[in-house]
Structure 1
Amino acid sequence: MSIENIEEPKITASIKKVDVDLYIPEQATSTSSKKETASNRAEENKEQQGRSNHWEVRTDEQAYAYLPKTESEIENRYGKRIDLVELTDKPVGRSMFINDNPQVGTNPDRNKQHGFFFTADNCIGCHACESACSEKNDNPAHLAFRSVGYVEGGSYPDYKRMNISMACNHCDDPVCLKGCPTRAYTKHAEYGAVLQDPETCFGCGYCTWVCPYNAPQLDPVKGLVSKCNMCVDRLEVGLKPACVSACVGNALDFGVIENTPENREQCKTAIPGFPSPEITHPNIRFQQTKTLPDELTRTDNTPVKYHKDSQGHYQPVVDQKVGKQKHWNLQKLNSRENPLVLFTLLAQAALGTFIIPFLGALAGIEVFEVFTGSNFFLPLVLLSIVLMSLGLFMSVTHLGKPFRFYRGFNNLRYSPMSREGFGLAMFSASLGVTSLLLLPSNTWVISSINQLIGVDLVNLVTGVTLRPWVLGSGGFATLAGLAGLYYMNQCYQIKARPFWNHWQTVTSFVGNSLSLGAMVCGVVLLISIGAEGAGFSDALQILGLVFVLGQMIEAVGLIGHNMMLNRSENEGGAAHYVQCTTFGKTYLLRNYLLGFNLFMGCGLLMTSQVQNVSESITVAVWLSLSLVNIVTAVIGRALFYNLVIPTTMPGAFFWKNKGFEQHARDVGLADNPTCGVAPLAH
């Protein structure tokens, strides 16, 4: 992937200034530099005047805090160029404007891909790297760009724990950059750093979904995402990132990627607990030589553990931490994603409500042809606009900065979220045009205007046909809506979230569009037919068929999803385990309701063939079935958002542990800001 330099972010660094002269030694290779005389220091300080002062280097900076000067490889192990100058059209030696400073750094390797090196054997879990990072970036207690998690296994007396320190890996293929709808991310030719601009971000959190390493951090208090910036201000003057300099166990190191640090013998791309590097090609390398047990568990409550395969690699497997008992836990269906539950369902209902009768009329189905030519078609179009507008409004309320919603169209080149929003916005706009074109042919509207202004408009509009224009705008709305639905599905085809990354997602979205659309359209259509004194049977038969088709599509997807996840031993299988235990009874209820909908829908189809069935009874059954379908859809979509388990890094017992966070909220511990547990809403 070429280096993206789109909408350069303003790079800021929280720096504690020290009132000393600038001091940047040419090469810090021994501790003898600490014993220089004051006169020598003054002379060197004088030589450094005029050079970059992004970071006022302390005169007692330790030797290990400086970047080494070594020869680098031409390509990394993924075949990507390490020298990034050739991948960008930007001038070499440009300023990064760190803290609005126009000076250019003095690092001779500033245009090469850098990365972290983590030696798991040396990490003692002291969290000094976390503290240094948070202090430098002035992070609140509930936020950390670098985190230390644990995996452990074995039995006494041979019980072992491995600590893992992880931040942003500044990947070759940064999925956060491609997924962000606002283009808040940029991969720089300088150091290969993937930087994010919080001032461009509107807090949707999509980057936190797609990243497998939990690098972008959504602050629910500020409503913005921020992340590790590779300490580029320190790199500009030859210093390693703050977390590396603070590491007391010499576990973290940093430099040009693929350069194995001194006294290291491995340069691996993965260790136990690290998600597959094939997702993003991260720029981090590992060493782990100490023998570990064949099975390692996480100390957080995520039902995932890691088992060593025949090749010696650790693969995720389901860890049945909570047994197999089924529970309801209906209260846990309430989550931060509630606006997205409503957004997706309302948008899909709006799409189905308009597209079903419109395509039916184009297909020559008499009932729909009559309906689209009647006065009731305009109210249906307006109802679709209302449903879509409510859905889009709910999606905006999910943002941390709702008034920046317009930035969601910035990344149409890459982001499926941008394309989804654009498609649905075009659908709404086209329906608006369609409703305007329908006004002259709607006798209710013309009659109302006649009464208001006292002018007979019937003769003025008689003979004026806008039908071709209505078909054109309606056809465009259909294409835009289907495109929006397609990219809505693409938003959830995320490698870092296996529970979503399945064709069941598209069957759910399409199935709900058909069933909910048939439900809403059916109510309007039945009112229309009843007002005109026509029979219900033909309309109910067609809409009932569409309803049953939607339920069948969703059922087939759920069956396939269940079969696949029952065989999966990854995070998707772990999410299914939670679905069958923590939410087991709720999951069964949704499935039973879906079966009930299918059964009653088929029964409705059969009763529509019987001539002597009361129409009022038929309408009552249809309305009851619609209500049950709404409950089914809401439960299913809430489970969809609550169950997903990402391929994220292991947490600690307290920190980065969803179980502890919930406990802290339950007992009131989360009310203390120093606890590090943020509120659910943003």
Structure 2
Amino acid sequence: MSELIELKDKTLIDMLLEEQRQVQTPMGRFAEAAEEAAAEQASRFGDLIPLSAPRAGEQYAFQVDLDRCSGCKGCVTACHSLNGLDENETWRDIGMLVGEGERGPALQTVTTACHHCVEPACMIGCPVDAYEKDEVSGIVLHLDDQCIGCQYCVLKCPYDVPKFSPKRGIVRKCDMCHSRLSSGEAPACVQACPHEAIKIVTVEKEEAVARSQDPDSFLPDSPEPGYTKPTTRYVSKKGLPKNMVAGDSHVLRVQHTHWPLVGLLALSQLGVGGFVSAALDLGSLQGNLGFASFLGAWLVFHLGLVCSALHLGQPLKAWRVFLGFRRSWLSREAVILGACSGVSCVAIGAVAAGWFGYLDEFPWLESLQIGAVFATALLGLVGVFTSVYIYVDTRRSFWKLPYSLSKFYGSVALGACAFYMLAAGGASLAMASAFVGLVVLKLVVEAKSFGDNRSSQGLMESVLNPLWKARLSIAALSCVAAMAATRYEGVVLGSIVLLLVCLGELAERALYFKAVNAPKMPGGLNG
């Protein structure tokens, strides 16, 4: 009776809509199947991600079961697809270790991504604070909208994790698919691995720091873990032979030249040398050649600064570079060289005023001139020191402190000699001899830096040998020109010496970048 009353209350439209809802359309069946698959997937991957957020003193980390990794690159493909990476951009790579154990030759494939370190070198080195370590999850996140594309994090990270995107002008990296993880979904690489070799675990930060003090706690032939305290765990019941090396350890790779940085370092340091020369011989600034020499140093220095802007992927955001001053050597370099530039403009104005004869009319200009020239030279020398530590702080043997310090301040000394000859309109025998001695000493240091590293030595003896020979030839010509300047006065030979010094230092600085040994995780199957 109640059913009849209910039917009576319904209109024809209501009954048709109810009938339609009960019909299984293809789209309806697809939706039901998708819901069932999602539920099954959640159940399947529940053991591969933590069920709760990290507690205080803990963070998320990758755990890789080496016994299960087959090197199939399923994780690489999934990461690339889900994150919409560029054609040649990868956030997860597959590498290979080879060696020999008790049972004969051994081979181990390895999947690697960002290790979300306890002390991330990329974050510490960033001059614009474009990285942050999430307080809850411990994931190291890159803030794309803050990045200026300086690529210093690429040099700082020993694991080759941050990747520069030329199309976007910024660096990008693995973020452990944190948006999926926060929603209870497994990261792309975890879901895609057919052998479930990758999982997300919760680790104690203090334990990760303690483990990093033991080099054997990480993978063989990998960067020293004590630098950044990586949290990734590589586990294996079978164990790995201690003598294993990266499958591509024998491959010699010419590194990126970074031509704008070559120009910045070589030219700015030669310009600083000119500032030092002027500070040591203030009397020469009143003469035509002295003023021209100081103006030339100012131009060379600022040409180097212009080169630095060409290196940035997002140059319009460069004004933010001061944000990382407390911990980033790159930020310190930018701020101090920027201050040097400002003071040098005051100095060039004061010197120009003196050259035009205004010192008698405005006596205070002499004090301003002296103070500005000395301040310019001092700020320049401090700026060169920050440049040294930008590269020393990456902990690459080819860039270690004795070599970088000698090369960078050697450029300053050669610049000082060259600009002094230009200001003097020639060179005394003592000055020319000092110049030749500096050139020879610097070449010895450069040759020694190659010999201290197998990779750098191999590159210098093979693909970089023509550039090295060109460097030697230019250095020899500069010495000949300097000795000739002792007999023939005038600006021509002084200008030739300066030009040859510039070319020689540019060649040396190109080798400085090309021949560096770049640390990375074990490779051999990347691509």
Q: Same fold (TM over 0.5)?
A: yes
CA distance, structure 1, for counterparts of residue 526 and residue 191 of structure 2: 25
2:277–2:419 Cα contact (<8 Å) kept: no
After TM superposition, give the deviation of residue 144 of structure 1 in Å. Answer: 1.3
Q: How does 1:296-445 map to 2 (within 5 A)?
A: 296=244, 298-300=246-248, 304=249, 319=250, 337-358=258-279, 360=280, 368-374=281-287, 376-443=289-356
Equivalent of 1:274, from 222, 228, 231? 222
Equivalent of 1:245, from 191, 196, 210? 191
1:204–1:400 Cα contact (<8 Å) kept: yes
Equivalent of 1:223, from 169, 173, 176? 169
Q: Give CA deviations for 1:198-241 in whole Å, capped at 9, x if unaligned.
A: 11111111101110111111112221101111222223233332
CA distance, structure 2, for counterparts of residue 371 and residue 393 of structure 1: 28
Shift of the 615–378 alpha-carbon distance from structure 1 to 2, 3 Å rule, reads: closer
2:284–2:291 Cα contact (<8 Å) kept: no
1:513–1:550 Cα contact (<8 Å) kept: no
Shift of the 298–234 alpha-carbon distance from structure 1 to 2, 3 Å rule, reads: same
Equivalent of 2:40, from 33, 45, 60? 60
After TM superposition, give the deviation of residue 153 of structure 1 in Å. Answer: 4.6
Q: Structure 2: which amino acid aligns with 1:240?
A: A
Q: Give CA deviations for 1:26-67 in whole Å, capped at 9, x if unaligned.
A: xxxxxxxxxxxx9xx99xxxxxxxxxxxxxx93332334236
Q: Structure 1: which amino acid aligns with 2:228?
A: T
2:93–2:526 Cα contact (<8 Å) kept: no
CA distance, structure 2, for counterparts of residue 408 and residue 158 of structure 1: 53
CA distance, structure 1, for counterparts of residue 419 and residue 160 of structure 2: 40
After TM superposition, give the deviation of residue 511 of structure 1 in Å. Answer: 0.9
2:64–2:197 Cα contact (<8 Å) kept: yes
After TM superposition, give the deviation of residue 194 of structure 1 in Å. Answer: 1.1
Equivalent of 1:213, from 159, 184, 197? 159
Equivalent of 1:480, from 379, 386, 391? 379
After TM superposition, give the deviation of residue 585 of structure 1 in Å. Answer: 4.4
- Local SS of the residue matching 2:272: helix
Shift of the 388–69 alpha-carbon distance from structure 1 to 2, 3 Å rule, reads: closer
What is aligned with 2:9? none
What is aligned with 2:513? 641
2:272–2:415 Cα contact (<8 Å) kept: no
Q: How does 1:147-226 map to 2 (within 5 A)?
A: 147-153=93-99, 160-226=106-172
Q: Give CA deviations for 1:268-314 in whole Å, capped at 9, x if unaligned.
A: 731224221111110111113436667545444xxx2xxxxxxxxxx
- Local SS of the residue matching 1:162: strand
CA distance, structure 1, for counterparts of residue 53 and residue 332 of structure 2: 40
- Local SS of the residue matching 1:151: strand
What is aligned with 2:455? 574
Q: How does 1:9-20 map to 2 (within 5 A)?
A: none
CA distance, structure 2, for counterparts of residue 341 and residue 516 of structure 1: 16
Q: Structure 2: which amino acid aligns with 1:615?
A: E
After TM superposition, give the deviation of residue 143 of structure 1 in Å. Answer: 0.9
What is aligned with 1:22? none
After TM superposition, give the deviation of residue 258 of structure 1 in Å. Answer: 5.5
CA distance, structure 2, for counterparts of residue 576 and residue 286 of structure 1: 32
Q: How does 1:590-629 map to 2 (within 5 A)?
A: 590-591=471-472, 593-594=474-475, 597=478, 601=482, 603=483, 608=486, 613-615=487-489, 622-629=494-501
Identity of aligned residues (%): 25
CA distance, structure 2, for counterparts of residue 376 and residue 583 of structure 1: 38
Shift of the 615–475 alpha-carbon distance from structure 1 to 2, 3 Å rule, reads: closer
1:496–1:646 Cα contact (<8 Å) kept: no
CA distance, structure 2, for counterparts of residue 558 and residue 408 of structure 1: 31
Shift of the 582–69 alpha-carbon distance from structure 1 to 2, 3 Å rule, reads: closer
1:129–1:242 Cα contact (<8 Å) kept: yes
What is aligned with 1:119? 65
After TM superposition, give the deviation of residue 594 of structure 1 in Å. Answer: 3.8
What is aligned with 1:90? none
2:42–2:185 Cα contact (<8 Å) kept: no
1:512–1:551 Cα contact (<8 Å) kept: no
1:515–1:550 Cα contact (<8 Å) kept: yes
RMSD over aligned Cα atoms: 3.4
After TM superposition, give the deviation of residue 635 of structure 1 in Å. Answer: 2.1
Shift of the 581–411 alpha-carbon distance from structure 1 to 2, 3 Å rule, reads: same
After TM superposition, give the deviation of residue 405 of structure 1 in Å. Answer: 2.0
- Local SS of the residue matching 1:283: coil
After TM superposition, give the deviation of residue 544 of structure 1 in Å. Answer: 2.9
After TM superposition, give the deviation of residue 620 of structure 1 in Å. Answer: 5.6
The structure with more helix, counted as a fraction of residues:
2
- Local SS of the residue matching 2:364: coil
Q: Structure 1: which amino acid aligns with 2:226?
A: E
CA distance, structure 2, for counterparts of residue 480 and residue 415 of structure 1: 18
CA distance, structure 1, for counterparts of residue 388 and residue 219 of structure 2: 32
- Local SS of the residue matching 1:189: coil
Q: Structure 2: which amino acid aligns with 1:65?
A: F
Q: Structure 1: which amino acid aligns with 2:38?
A: R
After TM superposition, give the deviation of residue 386 of structure 1 in Å. Answer: 1.9
Equivalent of 1:551, from 430, 436, 439? 439
- Local SS of the residue matching 2:224: coil
- Which runs of no fewer than 5 residues in structure 2 stay unpaired? 1-31, 208-214
After TM superposition, give the deviation of residue 115 of structure 1 in Å. Answer: 0.8
Q: Structure 2: which amino acid aligns with 1:590?
A: R
What is aligned with 1:315? none
What is aligned with 1:285? 233
Shift of the 523–381 alpha-carbon distance from structure 1 to 2, 3 Å rule, reads: closer
Q: Structure 2: which amino acid aligns with 1:62?
A: A
CA distance, structure 2, for counterparts of residue 474 and residue 396 of structure 1: 25
Q: How many residues align?
A: 484
Q: Structure 1: which amino acid aligns with 2:42?
A: Q
Q: Structure 2: which amino acid aligns with 1:282?
A: P
Q: Give CA deviations for 1:141-175 in whole Å, capped at 9, x if unaligned.
A: 211111112233569x9654311111111111111
